[in-house]
Structure 1
Amino acid sequence: MANITFFEAQKWAFSFIKQFDNKHQADVMLLLQGQMNWTKVQLLTNYQTQMTVKDWEHFKRNVEKYCQDWPVQYLLGYADFFGLRLKVTQATLIPRPETQDLVEWILETEEAKPQKVLDLGTGSGAIGLALKTQRPQWQITLSDLMPEALTIAKENALTFGLTCQYVVSDVLDAFDNQAKYDILISNPPYIADDEVKYMDASVLKYEPHSALFAKNQGLAIYQKIAKQAPMHLTKHGRIYLEIGFKQARAVSDIFTRLYPKAKIEVKQDLSGHDRMVKVSF
Protein backbone atom coordinates (compact mmCIF):
# COMPACT_ATOMS: atom_id res chain seq x y z
CA MET A 1 0.00 0.00 0.00
CA ALA A 2 1.69 3.19 -1.20
CA ASN A 3 1.13 6.76 -0.01
CA ILE A 4 -0.99 5.63 2.93
CA THR A 5 -2.32 8.23 5.34
CA PHE A 6 -2.46 7.81 9.10
CA PHE A 7 -6.24 7.48 8.87
CA GLU A 8 -5.93 4.71 6.30
CA ALA A 9 -3.31 2.96 8.42
CA GLN A 10 -5.60 3.06 11.43
CA LYS A 11 -8.53 1.81 9.35
CA TRP A 12 -6.40 -1.11 8.09
CA ALA A 13 -5.39 -1.98 11.64
CA PHE A 14 -8.99 -1.88 12.92
CA SER A 15 -9.96 -4.30 10.18
CA PHE A 16 -6.92 -6.54 10.73
CA ILE A 17 -7.51 -7.09 14.46
CA LYS A 18 -11.12 -8.22 13.95
CA GLN A 19 -9.93 -11.75 13.19
CA PHE A 20 -8.38 -12.04 16.68
CA ASP A 21 -10.09 -12.36 20.06
CA ASN A 22 -9.68 -9.71 22.77
CA LYS A 23 -7.97 -7.15 20.57
CA HIS A 24 -9.06 -3.55 20.92
CA GLN A 25 -9.16 -0.45 18.76
CA ALA A 26 -7.96 1.64 21.70
CA ASP A 27 -4.73 -0.39 21.79
CA VAL A 28 -4.21 0.17 18.06
CA MET A 29 -4.55 3.92 18.58
CA LEU A 30 -2.05 3.76 21.44
CA LEU A 31 0.40 1.95 19.18
CA LEU A 32 0.09 4.60 16.50
CA GLN A 33 0.21 7.52 18.95
CA GLY A 34 3.13 6.05 20.83
CA GLN A 35 5.12 5.28 17.71
CA MET A 36 4.81 8.89 16.59
CA ASN A 37 5.05 10.33 20.11
CA TRP A 38 1.72 12.06 19.56
CA THR A 39 -1.30 12.83 21.71
CA LYS A 40 -4.74 11.67 20.57
CA VAL A 41 -5.42 15.20 19.30
CA GLN A 42 -2.19 15.22 17.29
CA LEU A 43 -3.14 11.91 15.70
CA LEU A 44 -6.57 13.27 14.75
CA THR A 45 -5.07 16.42 13.22
CA ASN A 46 -2.63 14.29 11.19
CA TYR A 47 -5.17 11.81 9.86
CA GLN A 48 -4.71 12.97 6.26
CA THR A 49 -0.92 13.20 6.50
CA GLN A 50 0.94 10.55 4.52
CA MET A 51 3.12 8.13 6.45
CA THR A 52 6.69 7.44 5.51
CA VAL A 53 7.38 3.93 4.28
CA LYS A 54 9.46 3.32 7.42
CA ASP A 55 6.66 4.43 9.75
CA TRP A 56 4.07 2.39 7.89
CA GLU A 57 6.17 -0.78 7.97
CA HIS A 58 6.91 -0.26 11.66
CA PHE A 59 3.24 0.19 12.48
CA LYS A 60 2.25 -2.92 10.53
CA ARG A 61 4.84 -5.02 12.37
CA ASN A 62 3.61 -3.73 15.73
CA VAL A 63 -0.03 -4.47 14.92
CA GLU A 64 0.88 -7.98 13.79
CA LYS A 65 2.89 -8.59 16.98
CA TYR A 66 0.05 -7.16 19.07
CA CYS A 67 -2.20 -9.79 17.50
CA GLN A 68 0.35 -12.39 18.60
CA ASP A 69 -0.37 -11.21 22.17
CA TRP A 70 2.61 -8.88 22.60
CA PRO A 71 1.70 -6.23 25.21
CA VAL A 72 1.43 -2.71 23.80
CA GLN A 73 3.87 -1.44 26.44
CA TYR A 74 6.64 -3.79 25.30
CA LEU A 75 6.08 -2.85 21.67
CA LEU A 76 6.37 0.85 22.52
CA GLY A 77 9.12 0.30 25.08
CA TYR A 78 7.45 2.27 27.84
CA ALA A 79 4.60 2.29 30.35
CA ASP A 80 3.01 5.32 32.02
CA PHE A 81 2.89 5.15 35.82
CA PHE A 82 2.07 7.89 38.33
CA GLY A 83 2.98 10.63 35.85
CA LEU A 84 6.22 8.95 34.81
CA ARG A 85 6.92 7.41 31.40
CA LEU A 86 9.03 4.43 32.41
CA LYS A 87 11.14 2.30 30.11
CA VAL A 88 10.01 -1.34 30.21
CA THR A 89 11.42 -4.47 28.61
CA GLN A 90 10.72 -8.16 28.97
CA ALA A 91 13.11 -8.07 31.93
CA THR A 92 10.55 -6.01 33.85
CA LEU A 93 6.94 -6.48 34.76
CA ILE A 94 4.64 -3.88 33.20
CA PRO A 95 3.51 -1.55 36.03
CA ARG A 96 -0.22 -1.92 36.71
CA PRO A 97 -2.60 0.97 37.38
CA GLU A 98 -3.71 -0.57 40.70
CA THR A 99 -0.14 -0.31 42.01
CA GLN A 100 -0.60 3.46 41.89
CA ASP A 101 -3.09 3.00 44.74
CA LEU A 102 -0.22 1.65 46.87
CA VAL A 103 1.88 4.73 46.08
CA GLU A 104 -1.04 6.99 46.97
CA TRP A 105 -1.57 5.20 50.29
CA ILE A 106 2.07 5.60 51.25
CA LEU A 107 2.09 9.29 50.37
CA GLU A 108 -1.13 9.90 52.31
CA THR A 109 0.03 7.96 55.36
CA GLU A 110 3.72 8.74 55.76
CA GLU A 111 5.22 11.99 56.95
CA ALA A 112 7.18 14.05 54.42
CA LYS A 113 10.25 14.20 56.67
CA PRO A 114 13.44 12.47 55.42
CA GLN A 115 13.07 8.70 55.61
CA LYS A 116 14.98 5.66 54.37
CA VAL A 117 12.85 3.60 52.00
CA LEU A 118 13.47 0.20 50.38
CA ASP A 119 11.55 -0.94 47.30
CA LEU A 120 11.97 -4.73 47.08
CA GLY A 121 11.39 -6.36 43.70
CA THR A 122 11.44 -2.96 42.07
CA GLY A 123 11.36 -4.11 38.43
CA SER A 124 11.25 -0.94 36.33
CA GLY A 125 11.56 1.11 39.53
CA ALA A 126 7.92 2.19 39.33
CA ILE A 127 7.04 2.41 43.03
CA GLY A 128 10.36 3.73 44.32
CA LEU A 129 10.78 6.31 41.57
CA ALA A 130 7.18 7.52 41.88
CA LEU A 131 7.80 8.09 45.60
CA LYS A 132 11.12 9.82 44.96
CA THR A 133 9.51 12.33 42.60
CA GLN A 134 6.96 13.20 45.28
CA ARG A 135 9.31 12.98 48.27
CA PRO A 136 12.77 14.00 47.00
CA GLN A 137 14.02 14.16 50.59
CA TRP A 138 13.48 10.42 51.02
CA GLN A 139 16.48 8.14 50.53
CA ILE A 140 15.28 5.43 48.17
CA THR A 141 16.94 2.06 47.62
CA LEU A 142 15.77 -0.04 44.68
CA SER A 143 16.36 -3.80 44.84
CA ASP A 144 15.61 -6.69 42.54
CA LEU A 145 16.63 -10.30 42.14
CA MET A 146 17.26 -9.79 38.41
CA PRO A 147 20.24 -7.58 37.45
CA GLU A 148 18.60 -6.94 34.07
CA ALA A 149 15.58 -5.41 35.76
CA LEU A 150 17.72 -3.27 38.05
CA THR A 151 19.56 -1.94 34.99
CA ILE A 152 16.23 -0.71 33.60
CA ALA A 153 15.36 0.86 36.97
CA LYS A 154 18.69 2.72 36.92
CA GLU A 155 18.01 3.99 33.39
CA ASN A 156 14.60 5.25 34.47
CA ALA A 157 16.07 7.00 37.50
CA LEU A 158 18.67 8.72 35.31
CA THR A 159 15.98 9.80 32.84
CA PHE A 160 14.21 11.73 35.59
CA GLY A 161 17.36 12.92 37.33
CA LEU A 162 16.63 10.89 40.47
CA THR A 163 19.35 9.64 42.81
CA CYS A 164 18.80 6.21 44.34
CA GLN A 165 20.78 3.29 45.69
CA TYR A 166 20.67 -0.13 44.00
CA VAL A 167 21.05 -3.66 45.38
CA VAL A 168 20.75 -6.98 43.54
CA SER A 169 19.15 -9.32 46.05
CA ASP A 170 16.72 -12.19 46.51
CA VAL A 171 14.43 -10.40 48.97
CA LEU A 172 16.88 -9.33 51.71
CA ASP A 173 19.53 -12.04 51.32
CA ALA A 174 22.23 -9.65 50.06
CA PHE A 175 21.63 -6.91 52.64
CA ASP A 176 24.08 -6.29 55.43
CA ASN A 177 22.64 -6.55 58.95
CA GLN A 178 23.46 -2.87 59.43
CA ALA A 179 21.09 -1.85 56.63
CA LYS A 180 18.03 -0.31 58.32
CA TYR A 181 14.98 1.27 56.72
CA ASP A 182 12.00 3.22 57.99
CA ILE A 183 9.75 1.91 55.22
CA LEU A 184 9.92 -1.32 53.24
CA ILE A 185 7.70 -1.63 50.17
CA SER A 186 7.14 -4.57 47.87
CA ASN A 187 4.89 -5.65 45.05
CA PRO A 188 6.26 -9.19 44.98
CA PRO A 189 5.34 -12.20 42.85
CA TYR A 190 2.07 -13.48 44.34
CA ILE A 191 0.32 -15.60 41.72
CA ALA A 192 -0.11 -19.29 42.53
CA ASP A 193 0.84 -21.86 39.92
CA ASP A 194 -2.74 -23.14 39.71
CA GLU A 195 -4.00 -19.66 38.71
CA VAL A 196 -2.37 -19.82 35.28
CA LYS A 197 -5.71 -20.69 33.67
CA TYR A 198 -7.12 -17.29 34.66
CA MET A 199 -4.31 -15.20 33.16
CA ASP A 200 -4.11 -13.35 29.87
CA ALA A 201 -2.05 -14.93 27.12
CA SER A 202 0.01 -11.74 26.75
CA VAL A 203 1.13 -11.95 30.38
CA LEU A 204 2.02 -15.65 30.22
CA LYS A 205 3.87 -15.38 26.92
CA TYR A 206 5.93 -12.26 27.43
CA GLU A 207 6.14 -10.96 30.99
CA PRO A 208 8.83 -12.35 33.35
CA HIS A 209 7.45 -15.33 35.26
CA SER A 210 9.87 -14.70 38.12
CA ALA A 211 8.02 -11.43 38.78
CA LEU A 212 4.61 -13.10 38.68
CA PHE A 213 4.57 -16.53 40.28
CA ALA A 214 5.43 -17.67 43.80
CA LYS A 215 5.36 -21.01 45.58
CA ASN A 216 3.12 -21.89 48.55
CA GLN A 217 -0.05 -20.72 46.79
CA GLY A 218 1.57 -17.41 45.93
CA LEU A 219 2.63 -16.68 49.52
CA ALA A 220 6.32 -17.68 49.49
CA ILE A 221 7.77 -14.18 49.09
CA TYR A 222 5.50 -12.72 51.77
CA GLN A 223 6.71 -15.46 54.11
CA LYS A 224 10.32 -14.63 53.34
CA ILE A 225 9.75 -10.89 53.79
CA ALA A 226 8.06 -11.55 57.14
CA LYS A 227 11.06 -13.52 58.39
CA GLN A 228 13.75 -11.15 57.11
CA ALA A 229 12.30 -7.64 57.18
CA PRO A 230 12.19 -6.83 60.93
CA MET A 231 15.98 -7.07 61.29
CA HIS A 232 16.27 -4.44 58.54
CA LEU A 233 13.66 -2.02 59.90
CA THR A 234 14.11 0.86 62.30
CA LYS A 235 12.34 0.69 65.68
CA HIS A 236 8.93 1.79 64.39
CA GLY A 237 9.38 0.59 60.82
CA ARG A 238 6.51 -0.09 58.42
CA ILE A 239 6.00 -2.59 55.61
CA TYR A 240 3.68 -1.87 52.68
CA LEU A 241 2.73 -4.77 50.40
CA GLU A 242 0.63 -5.20 47.32
CA ILE A 243 -1.32 -8.46 47.45
CA GLY A 244 -3.62 -10.56 45.31
CA PHE A 245 -7.27 -9.65 45.84
CA LYS A 246 -7.95 -12.95 47.69
CA GLN A 247 -4.79 -12.91 49.84
CA ALA A 248 -5.58 -10.36 52.57
CA ARG A 249 -6.36 -12.95 55.26
CA ALA A 250 -3.43 -15.22 54.39
CA VAL A 251 -0.84 -12.41 54.23
CA SER A 252 -2.15 -10.83 57.44
CA ASP A 253 -1.94 -14.20 59.19
CA ILE A 254 1.70 -14.65 58.14
CA PHE A 255 2.70 -11.48 59.99
CA THR A 256 0.29 -11.91 62.91
CA ARG A 257 1.68 -15.36 63.74
CA LEU A 258 5.28 -14.09 63.76
CA TYR A 259 4.60 -10.66 65.27
CA PRO A 260 1.40 -10.72 67.36
CA LYS A 261 2.01 -7.15 68.58
CA ALA A 262 2.31 -5.70 65.06
CA LYS A 263 -0.56 -3.61 63.70
CA ILE A 264 -1.98 -5.02 60.46
CA GLU A 265 -4.06 -2.86 58.10
CA VAL A 266 -5.74 -3.95 54.87
CA LYS A 267 -6.72 -1.39 52.24
CA GLN A 268 -8.87 -1.77 49.17
CA ASP A 269 -8.07 -0.49 45.70
CA LEU A 270 -10.39 1.80 43.72
CA SER A 271 -12.29 -1.26 42.47
CA GLY A 272 -13.14 -2.28 46.03
CA HIS A 273 -10.79 -5.27 46.19
CA ASP A 274 -8.45 -5.97 49.11
CA ARG A 275 -5.16 -5.06 47.45
CA MET A 276 -2.71 -3.70 50.04
CA VAL A 277 -1.44 -4.61 53.47
CA LYS A 278 0.46 -2.40 55.92
CA VAL A 279 2.41 -3.86 58.83
CA SER A 280 3.51 -1.44 61.57
CA PHE A 281 5.94 -2.51 64.27
Structure 2
Amino acid sequence: MAKINTLNDLNTWATQAAANQRPEDIAFLLAERLGLSPSEFQLKQELELSLDQVQQAQKDIKKLARGISPQYILGYSWFLGYKIMVQRGVLIPRFETEELVEWALQSLQANDKILDLGTGSGCITVALAKEAAKKGFTDLNLYASDVSDVALRTSEENFLTYQVDAIVRKANVLIGLEKFDKIISNPPYIKDTERAEMDQNVLQNEPEEALFGGVDGLNFYRKFVQQVREHLNSGGEFFLEYGYNQKEQLQDLFVQELPDFTIEFKNDLANKPRMVKGKWNN
Protein backbone atom coordinates (compact mmCIF):
# COMPACT_ATOMS: atom_id res chain seq x y z
CA MET A 1 0.00 0.00 0.00
CA ALA A 2 1.31 3.43 -0.96
CA LYS A 3 2.22 5.72 1.92
CA ILE A 4 -0.57 8.09 2.93
CA ASN A 5 0.65 11.63 3.57
CA THR A 6 -2.12 13.94 2.39
CA LEU A 7 -5.89 14.09 2.46
CA ASN A 8 -5.92 13.24 -1.24
CA ASP A 9 -3.86 10.10 -0.56
CA LEU A 10 -6.26 9.12 2.20
CA ASN A 11 -9.33 9.79 0.08
CA THR A 12 -7.93 7.70 -2.75
CA TRP A 13 -7.18 4.80 -0.39
CA ALA A 14 -10.59 5.08 1.30
CA THR A 15 -12.47 5.02 -2.01
CA GLN A 16 -10.78 1.72 -2.83
CA ALA A 17 -10.98 0.22 0.67
CA ALA A 18 -14.70 0.98 0.94
CA ALA A 19 -15.64 0.62 -2.71
CA ASN A 20 -18.95 -0.90 -1.65
CA GLN A 21 -20.01 2.32 0.09
CA ARG A 22 -21.39 5.61 -1.21
CA PRO A 23 -18.70 8.24 -1.94
CA GLU A 24 -20.69 10.83 0.03
CA ASP A 25 -20.56 8.61 3.13
CA ILE A 26 -16.80 8.24 2.78
CA ALA A 27 -16.38 12.01 2.39
CA PHE A 28 -18.69 12.74 5.35
CA LEU A 29 -16.86 10.32 7.64
CA LEU A 30 -13.37 11.57 6.73
CA ALA A 31 -14.35 15.25 6.90
CA GLU A 32 -16.01 14.87 10.30
CA ARG A 33 -13.12 12.93 11.79
CA LEU A 34 -10.66 15.54 10.52
CA GLY A 35 -12.80 18.48 11.64
CA LEU A 36 -13.35 19.79 8.12
CA SER A 37 -16.46 21.31 6.59
CA PRO A 38 -17.68 19.79 3.28
CA SER A 39 -16.14 22.66 1.32
CA GLU A 40 -12.85 22.43 3.24
CA PHE A 41 -12.74 18.72 2.49
CA GLN A 42 -12.91 19.49 -1.22
CA LEU A 43 -10.50 22.42 -1.14
CA LYS A 44 -7.81 21.01 1.17
CA GLN A 45 -6.96 17.78 -0.60
CA GLU A 46 -3.23 18.55 -0.25
CA LEU A 47 -3.55 18.88 3.54
CA GLU A 48 -0.77 16.94 5.26
CA LEU A 49 -1.99 14.46 7.85
CA SER A 50 -0.43 13.14 11.03
CA LEU A 51 0.12 9.42 11.57
CA ASP A 52 -2.59 9.43 14.25
CA GLN A 53 -5.08 11.03 11.85
CA VAL A 54 -4.33 8.47 9.16
CA GLN A 55 -4.59 5.49 11.52
CA GLN A 56 -7.90 6.69 12.98
CA ALA A 57 -9.32 7.30 9.51
CA GLN A 58 -8.26 3.85 8.37
CA LYS A 59 -10.02 2.24 11.33
CA ASP A 60 -13.15 4.24 10.50
CA ILE A 61 -13.13 3.34 6.81
CA LYS A 62 -12.69 -0.37 7.57
CA LYS A 63 -15.81 -0.19 9.76
CA LEU A 64 -17.67 1.63 6.99
CA ALA A 65 -16.63 -1.07 4.51
CA ARG A 66 -18.24 -3.64 6.84
CA GLY A 67 -21.53 -1.78 6.54
CA ILE A 68 -21.57 0.26 9.76
CA SER A 69 -23.26 3.64 9.27
CA PRO A 70 -20.87 6.62 9.44
CA GLN A 71 -22.94 8.28 12.19
CA TYR A 72 -22.61 5.19 14.38
CA ILE A 73 -18.86 5.09 13.73
CA LEU A 74 -18.53 8.72 14.82
CA GLY A 75 -21.04 8.36 17.64
CA TYR A 76 -23.02 11.39 16.56
CA SER A 77 -25.17 12.93 13.85
CA TRP A 78 -26.08 16.52 12.99
CA PHE A 79 -29.64 17.80 13.34
CA LEU A 80 -30.61 21.43 12.69
CA GLY A 81 -27.03 22.41 13.54
CA TYR A 82 -26.87 20.44 16.81
CA LYS A 83 -24.48 17.53 17.33
CA ILE A 84 -26.68 14.67 18.54
CA MET A 85 -25.20 11.55 20.11
CA VAL A 86 -26.38 8.33 18.45
CA GLN A 87 -25.59 4.66 18.83
CA ARG A 88 -26.76 1.43 17.26
CA GLY A 89 -30.33 0.76 18.28
CA VAL A 90 -31.27 4.44 17.91
CA LEU A 91 -32.61 5.97 14.69
CA ILE A 92 -30.19 8.34 12.95
CA PRO A 93 -31.84 11.80 12.65
CA ARG A 94 -33.04 12.71 9.15
CA PHE A 95 -32.84 16.16 7.60
CA GLU A 96 -36.50 15.91 6.56
CA THR A 97 -37.44 15.93 10.23
CA GLU A 98 -35.71 19.30 10.62
CA GLU A 99 -38.50 20.75 8.48
CA LEU A 100 -41.09 19.23 10.81
CA VAL A 101 -39.44 20.97 13.77
CA GLU A 102 -39.33 24.28 11.91
CA TRP A 103 -43.05 23.98 11.18
CA ALA A 104 -43.91 23.23 14.79
CA LEU A 105 -41.82 26.18 15.96
CA GLN A 106 -44.18 28.52 14.09
CA SER A 107 -47.09 27.49 16.33
CA LEU A 108 -45.40 27.69 19.73
CA GLN A 109 -47.07 29.55 22.57
CA ALA A 110 -45.82 30.40 26.05
CA ASN A 111 -46.05 27.54 28.56
CA ASP A 112 -46.88 24.96 25.88
CA LYS A 113 -46.73 21.37 27.08
CA ILE A 114 -45.06 19.46 24.23
CA LEU A 115 -44.55 15.75 23.63
CA ASP A 116 -41.83 14.38 21.34
CA LEU A 117 -43.46 11.03 20.60
CA GLY A 118 -40.99 8.29 19.67
CA THR A 119 -38.09 10.55 20.59
CA GLY A 120 -35.26 8.22 19.53
CA SER A 121 -32.06 10.22 20.04
CA GLY A 122 -34.02 13.17 21.42
CA CYS A 123 -33.05 15.31 18.43
CA ILE A 124 -36.51 16.85 18.02
CA THR A 125 -36.71 17.91 21.68
CA VAL A 126 -33.16 19.31 21.69
CA ALA A 127 -33.67 21.31 18.50
CA LEU A 128 -37.14 22.49 19.53
CA ALA A 129 -35.94 23.63 22.95
CA LYS A 130 -32.83 25.43 21.70
CA GLU A 131 -34.54 27.09 18.73
CA ALA A 132 -37.54 28.07 20.86
CA ALA A 133 -35.21 29.73 23.35
CA LYS A 134 -33.85 31.90 20.53
CA LYS A 135 -37.43 33.09 19.97
CA GLY A 136 -37.87 33.88 23.65
CA PHE A 137 -39.74 30.72 24.65
CA THR A 138 -37.89 29.46 27.71
CA ASP A 139 -40.93 28.27 29.66
CA LEU A 140 -41.94 25.25 27.60
CA ASN A 141 -42.89 22.00 29.34
CA LEU A 142 -41.08 19.30 27.40
CA TYR A 143 -41.77 15.56 27.40
CA ALA A 144 -40.10 12.80 25.38
CA SER A 145 -41.38 9.24 25.04
CA ASP A 146 -40.21 6.05 23.37
CA VAL A 147 -40.81 2.33 23.60
CA SER A 148 -37.05 1.62 23.48
CA ASP A 149 -34.85 1.73 26.58
CA VAL A 150 -31.75 2.36 24.45
CA ALA A 151 -33.44 5.34 22.83
CA LEU A 152 -34.55 6.77 26.17
CA ARG A 153 -31.05 6.50 27.64
CA THR A 154 -29.56 8.13 24.54
CA SER A 155 -32.09 10.95 24.56
CA GLU A 156 -31.35 11.64 28.22
CA GLU A 157 -27.63 11.94 27.41
CA ASN A 158 -28.42 14.48 24.70
CA PHE A 159 -30.76 16.43 26.99
CA LEU A 160 -27.98 16.57 29.59
CA THR A 161 -25.44 17.75 27.02
CA TYR A 162 -27.68 20.60 25.89
CA GLN A 163 -29.13 21.31 29.34
CA VAL A 164 -32.65 20.63 28.13
CA ASP A 165 -35.13 20.03 30.93
CA ALA A 166 -37.36 17.27 29.58
CA ILE A 167 -39.39 14.57 31.31
CA VAL A 168 -38.76 11.14 29.79
CA ARG A 169 -41.45 8.47 29.62
CA LYS A 170 -41.54 4.92 28.30
CA ALA A 171 -44.70 4.46 26.24
CA ASN A 172 -46.13 2.66 23.22
CA VAL A 173 -47.69 5.41 21.10
CA LEU A 174 -49.75 7.47 23.62
CA ILE A 175 -50.90 4.83 26.10
CA GLY A 176 -50.24 5.89 29.69
CA LEU A 177 -49.26 9.47 28.84
CA GLU A 178 -51.02 12.66 29.93
CA LYS A 179 -52.48 15.56 27.92
CA PHE A 180 -50.39 17.96 25.84
CA ASP A 181 -50.77 21.16 23.88
CA LYS A 182 -48.63 19.84 21.04
CA ILE A 183 -47.46 16.41 19.93
CA ILE A 184 -44.67 16.10 17.39
CA SER A 185 -43.40 12.83 15.94
CA ASN A 186 -41.36 11.17 13.23
CA PRO A 187 -42.97 7.73 13.58
CA PRO A 188 -42.18 4.46 11.77
CA TYR A 189 -43.89 4.66 8.36
CA ILE A 190 -41.90 2.56 5.89
CA LYS A 191 -43.94 -0.16 4.22
CA ASP A 192 -42.81 -3.74 4.78
CA THR A 193 -42.83 -4.17 0.99
CA GLU A 194 -40.24 -1.38 0.60
CA ARG A 195 -37.58 -3.31 2.50
CA ALA A 196 -35.97 -4.62 -0.69
CA GLU A 197 -35.51 -1.07 -2.03
CA MET A 198 -33.77 0.27 1.07
CA ASP A 199 -30.11 1.07 1.70
CA GLN A 200 -28.48 -2.02 3.22
CA ASN A 201 -26.66 0.15 5.78
CA VAL A 202 -30.01 1.29 7.15
CA LEU A 203 -31.35 -2.26 7.36
CA GLN A 204 -28.18 -3.58 9.00
CA ASN A 205 -27.78 -0.81 11.55
CA GLU A 206 -30.98 0.99 12.48
CA PRO A 207 -33.80 -0.36 14.69
CA GLU A 208 -36.63 -1.94 12.71
CA GLU A 209 -39.25 -0.73 15.18
CA ALA A 210 -38.29 2.87 14.34
CA LEU A 211 -38.47 2.27 10.59
CA PHE A 212 -41.30 -0.07 9.59
CA GLY A 213 -45.01 0.63 9.98
CA GLY A 214 -46.57 -2.59 8.75
CA VAL A 215 -47.80 -3.71 5.33
CA ASP A 216 -48.91 -0.22 4.26
CA GLY A 217 -46.75 1.72 6.72
CA LEU A 218 -49.74 3.16 8.59
CA ASN A 219 -49.88 1.04 11.76
CA PHE A 220 -48.73 3.92 13.96
CA TYR A 221 -51.23 6.40 12.49
CA ARG A 222 -54.18 4.09 13.03
CA LYS A 223 -53.28 3.76 16.71
CA PHE A 224 -52.57 7.48 16.98
CA VAL A 225 -55.96 8.64 15.69
CA GLN A 226 -57.72 6.36 18.15
CA GLN A 227 -55.75 7.72 21.12
CA VAL A 228 -55.00 11.37 20.31
CA ARG A 229 -58.16 12.99 21.75
CA GLU A 230 -57.35 11.59 25.18
CA HIS A 231 -53.89 13.15 25.06
CA LEU A 232 -54.46 16.63 23.60
CA ASN A 233 -55.67 19.68 25.48
CA SER A 234 -58.48 21.78 24.00
CA GLY A 235 -57.28 23.37 20.76
CA GLY A 236 -54.16 21.21 20.80
CA GLU A 237 -52.13 20.34 17.71
CA PHE A 238 -50.10 17.44 16.37
CA PHE A 239 -47.29 17.45 13.81
CA LEU A 240 -46.41 14.17 12.11
CA GLU A 241 -44.00 13.09 9.41
CA TYR A 242 -45.03 10.41 6.89
CA GLY A 243 -43.86 8.71 3.69
CA TYR A 244 -43.99 10.68 0.44
CA ASN A 245 -46.55 8.26 -1.06
CA GLN A 246 -48.93 8.04 1.91
CA LYS A 247 -50.79 11.36 1.76
CA GLU A 248 -54.01 10.09 0.17
CA GLN A 249 -54.33 7.18 2.61
CA LEU A 250 -53.75 9.51 5.55
CA GLN A 251 -56.29 11.99 4.22
CA ASP A 252 -58.89 9.23 4.16
CA LEU A 253 -57.91 8.08 7.65
CA PHE A 254 -58.12 11.57 9.14
CA VAL A 255 -61.44 12.39 7.44
CA GLN A 256 -62.92 9.21 8.86
CA GLU A 257 -61.39 9.25 12.35
CA LEU A 258 -60.69 12.94 13.07
CA PRO A 259 -63.59 14.94 11.57
CA ASP A 260 -63.32 17.47 14.41
CA PHE A 261 -59.72 18.33 13.50
CA THR A 262 -58.47 20.84 10.95
CA ILE A 263 -55.91 18.92 8.91
CA GLU A 264 -53.13 20.59 6.91
CA PHE A 265 -50.60 18.77 4.73
CA LYS A 266 -47.24 20.28 3.82
CA ASN A 267 -44.58 19.47 1.23
CA ASP A 268 -40.90 19.29 2.06
CA LEU A 269 -38.13 21.24 0.32
CA ALA A 270 -38.05 18.61 -2.42
CA ASN A 271 -41.77 19.39 -2.98
CA LYS A 272 -42.86 15.96 -1.77
CA PRO A 273 -45.78 15.63 0.68
CA ARG A 274 -44.09 14.64 3.96
CA MET A 275 -45.75 16.42 6.92
CA VAL A 276 -49.19 16.86 8.41
CA LYS A 277 -50.59 19.12 11.12
CA GLY A 278 -53.85 18.53 12.93
CA LYS A 279 -55.61 21.07 15.19
CA TRP A 280 -58.43 19.94 17.46
CA ASN A 281 -61.46 22.21 17.01
CA ASN A 282 -63.03 21.60 20.38
User: Would the TM-score normalized by the shorter structure come out above 0.5?
Assistant: yes
Shift of 1:199: 0.6
Q: Which residue of 1 aligns with 2:196?
A: 197
Letter in 1 for 2:173: V
- Name the Cα RMSD after superposition: 2.0
- 1:185 Cα deviation from its structure 2 partner: 1.0
Q: Which amino acid aligns with 1:15?
A: Q
Judged with a 3 Å threshold, the aligned counterparts in structure 2 of structure 1 residues 46 and 165 are, in CA distance, closer, same or farther, namely farther
Corresponding residue pairs, total: 272
Deviation at 1:3, TM superposition (A): 7.0
| Conserved? CA contact 2:89–2:206, under 8 Å | yes
Query: Could you tell me which residue of structure 2 aligns to residue 249 of structure 1?
Result: 248
* Per-residue deviation, residues 33-74 of structure 1 (Å, max 9, x unmatched): 32233445389388223322xx43332222122123221111
Contact 1:3 1:50 in 2 (8 A): no
Name the TM-score, length of structure 2 as normaliser: 0.90
Match of 1:99 in 2: 97
What is the alpha-carbon distance in structure 1 between the residues aligned to residue 164 and residue 104 of structure 2? Answer: 19
Paired position in structure 2 for 1:139: 141
Distance (whole Å) between structure 2 residues aligned to residue 236 and residue 264 of structure 1 = 13
Q: Which amino acid in 1 is paired with 2:126?
A: L
Tell me what 2:85 maps to. Answer: 87
Deviations 1:165-218 (A, max 9, x none): 10011111232xxx2100011111111111111111111111110100122411
SS of alignment partner, residue 217 of structure 1 = coil
Structure 1 pair 67–125 and aligned structure 2 pair: CA distance change class (3 A): same
Deviation at 1:112, TM superposition (A): 3.8
- Which residue of structure 1 aligns with residue 116 of structure 2? 119
CA-CA distance at 1:259 after TM superposition: 2.2
CA contact (8 A) 1:23 1:67 kept: no
SS of 1:32 mapped into structure 2: helix
Query: Separation in 2 of the partners of 1:98 and 1:3?
Result: 40
Whether the aligned pair in 2 keeps the contact of 1:3 and 1:51 (CA below 8 Å) is no
- Contact between 1:150 and 1:166, CA under 8 Å: does it hold in 2? yes
Task: Tell which deviates more after alignment, 185-194 or 38-47.
Answer: 38-47
Q: d(CA) in 1 for partners of 2:49 and 2:191?
A: 49
CA distance in 1, matches of 2:157, 2:244: 31
Counterpart for residue 156 of structure 1 = 158
Q: For residues 50 and 73 of structure 2, what CA distance do their matches in structure 1 show?
A: 22
What TM-score, normalized to structure 1?
A: 0.90
Percent identical: 35
Partner of 1:5: 5
Structure 1 CA distance for aligned equivalents of residues 172 and 66 of structure 2: 32
Task: Map 1:33-72 onto structure 2 (within 5 A).
Answer: 33-39=31-37, 41=40, 44=44, 47-52=47-52, 55-72=53-70
Distance 1:198 1:2 in 2: 37
Identify the residue that residue 235 of structure 1 maps to in structure 2: 234
